[in-house]
Structure 1
Amino acid sequence: MNRRLFLAAFPAVLAAGCGFKLRRFEDIPFASLYIDAPHGGAVAQRIRSALTSSKQTRLAASAGEAEAVLVLGPEARSKVILSLSGAGRVTEYRLGLQLTYRISDKDGRTLAAAEVIELSRDITYDDTQVLAKAAEEQLLYRDMEDSAARRIMRRLQSIGPGPAS
């Protein structure tokens, strides 16, 4: 019995000893942040929830109250035919997500110049599995939104607050 317990606990000890941690957002260097984004933006919502869960950075109600301002442009989704079968049926699509953002301080000085995020994912298509493929498409869009949010959070982490006034 002791041998089984040892074999079960050994992988957990190895994982803990190597410094393994679940991925999370480190603290960003701003005490408060205002997010200026179009209503209903999924990337903005993911950033808000990440900052709310970290509790290190306060989400400000207005740009004047914030140490930094994150301005997100509208999210543009695209779906382009990538390949056709010999019978002329779609067999593959390329899904895309495009988003621009910039970061400034409360006085309007640029902390990070405007940047465009363009992400794409390829998806196979089959007429006999319409519902499954629609669910897969939504999952891929969600994955691209998560990826864009992580990229913006890493950018926020990499810049420091502007000079003290």
Structure 2
Amino acid sequence: MRRRDLLPLGAALLLAGCGFELRKAPDFAFSSIVINAPDSSPLAAELRRQLQADGKVQVVAPGSPAAAAAVGAASAPAAPPGEVVFELLQEQREKVVVGLNSTGQVTEFQLRSRVHFRVRNARGTELIPDTELEQHRDITFNESAVLAKEAEEGLLYRDMQRDMVQQLMRRLAALRIV
């Protein structure tokens, strides 16, 4: 065999030996979750979709009897195991001017997205205390391409939302229910 034929084999052996593994679907310690969030929240809708995509976690509607049992279970000693309540306390989007040219016209904005949430179990014990996640992206502005910049702004907000949902999924997967 030639050396160049051994190179791909050597690279594969190195990757296998270093513990490299592709990211896989998260494994949750709970079987169902109640998402308390406004119906108009795009982040909550994306989180519901992501949790339901795997099929291992049941997303319970906030107004259902199962959700009422989970929320009211703080006083009940025998709360159902595996039940988690995610509360979206605040979701906020901002657009801040960060750059002006010599004539005072805006040349750059910073888009910010903030989410404030907490997670507790069915007994009311906080699993994740009040936490705030923040994402920001910079965007240039040009008056001659206003419509294109509006579309770009929408794409950046959706990208920030996707990033936050992925962060939330990782945090939920790291939970250990007591």
Scaled by the length of structure 2, the TM-score of the pair is: 0.76
CA distance in 2, matches of 1:59, 1:76: 24
Conserved 8 A contact 2:87-2:118: yes
Structure 1 runs not aligned, ≥5 long: 1-9
State the identity %. 34
Structure 2: give runs of 5+ residues left out of the alignment.
1-7, 62-66, 71-81
Residue 96 (str. 1) matches residue 112 (str. 2): yes
Structure 1: 4+ residue segments shifted above 4 A: 17-21
Amino acid across the alignment from 2:173: Q
Aligned residues: 147
Alpha carbons 1:104, 1:112 under 8 Å: kept = yes
Question: In the TM superposition, what is the alpha-carbon distance from 1:74 to its structure 2 partner?
Answer: 2.6
Deviations 1:24-43 (A, max 9, x none): 54121111111011221111
Tell me the equivalent position of 2:26. 26
For the 8 Å contact 1:123–1:137, the answer to whether it is kept is: yes
Report the TM-score, using the length of structure 1 for normalisation: 0.82
SS at match of 1:101: strand
Query: Which residue of the partner structure matches residue 53 of structure 1?
Result: 53
- The aligned runs of 1:3-152 (5 Å cut-off) are 21=22, 25-61=25-61, 62-65=67-70, 67-152=83-168
Q: Secondary structure at the match of 1:87?
A: coil
| Worse overlay, 128-137 or 153-162 | 153-162
